[in-house]
Amino acid sequence: MNENEAKCFIESLIFSAQDPLTKDSMKKMLKEYGEFNLDKILNELKSDYENRGIELVELEKRFFFRTSKTLHNYLFVETKKARNLSNAAMETLAIISYHQPVTRAEIEKIRGKPVFRGTLDTLLELKWIKPSGRRETPGRPVTWITDFEFLKHFGLKSIKDLPKVDELESVIL
C-alpha cells in the first residue's frame, strides 16, 4: 500500500465507521499494510475537506465526518422532539457538566432536592452522561461525568469549552 492508498483507506474507515475513531484504532488497522504517518494523513484529510460540504472533525481525540457548519442554515431536518427534558434533568445535567466527576449525593446537595432514578436514566439514554467509576468513600457511590454525545450535541470540542459560571450569570442578569 502506498501513501495515497493509505490516505484513501483512512478516509474510508472514518467515513464508514459507526462511531468516531481514535488514532490508536486507525493505527492498528493501518499497521498490517505498512508504516505510515497517521498525523500527516489526518492533517491532509482535514485540509482536503476545508471549504467543502463536509468536514473532518476531531473531538476528544476521536475523528468523524459531519456536515460543514457553514451549511447549517441550509440543511436542517424538522422533526418532532421525542422528549423535552424536565427542569430536574436540565439542572442535573448542568451540575454534572460543571462539577464532574460528581456523585448523586453531591448533585442532590447542590440542587437542594432529590435526584430521581428516572432523571439519570433519561440522561444515560441520551448518552449525555456516563458512570466514571466509584468514590473511595463509604458505600462507594458511582461518579458521573458527561459523555461524548453531550459534547457532540452541544457543539463543544471539550468540556473546557463550556461557558464559565460568571459569564452565564452576566447573561442571565
Question: Does residue 45 lie within any of the structural domains?
Answer: yes
Cell matching residue 40: 500527516
Q: Are residues 168 and 118 in the same domain?
A: yes
pTM, to two decimals:
0.59
Please count the structural domains in the chain: 2
pLDDT at 67: 87
pLDDT at 81: 55
pLDDT at 78: 62
Beta strand 102-103 with 129-134 is unpaired
Q: Are residues 56 and 91 in the same domain?
A: no
Q: Are residues 121 and 152 in the same domain?
A: yes
Query: Cα–chain-centroid distance for residue 10?
Result: 21
What is the dihedral sign for C-alpha 107, 109, 110, 114? positive
Q: Are residues 62 and 96 in the same domain?
A: no
What is the dihedral sign for C-alpha 51, 52, 56, 58? positive
Question: Does residue 11 lie within any of the structural domains?
Answer: yes
pLDDT at 170: 63
- Regions of the chain with pLDDT less than 70: 76-83, 167-173
* Measured distance CA(157)–CA(155) in Å, rounded: 7
Domain that includes residue 146, residue range: 87-172
Q: Are residues 124 and 65 in the same domain?
A: no
Question: Where a domain ends, among 71, 100, 127?
Answer: 71
Question: Does residue 10 lie within any of the structural domains?
Answer: yes
Q: Are residues 97 and 43 in the same domain?
A: no
Q: Are residues 107 and 137 in the same domain?
A: yes
The 10s digit of each residue's pLDDT in 157-171 is 888 888 887 766 665
Q: Are residues 61 and 94 in the same domain?
A: no
CATH number at residue 167: 1.10.10.10
* Measured distance CA(160)–CA(98) in Å, rounded: 9
Question: Does residue 82 lie within any of the structural domains?
Answer: no
pLDDT at 154: 85
pLDDT at 70: 84
Q: Are residues 119 and 62 in the same domain?
A: no
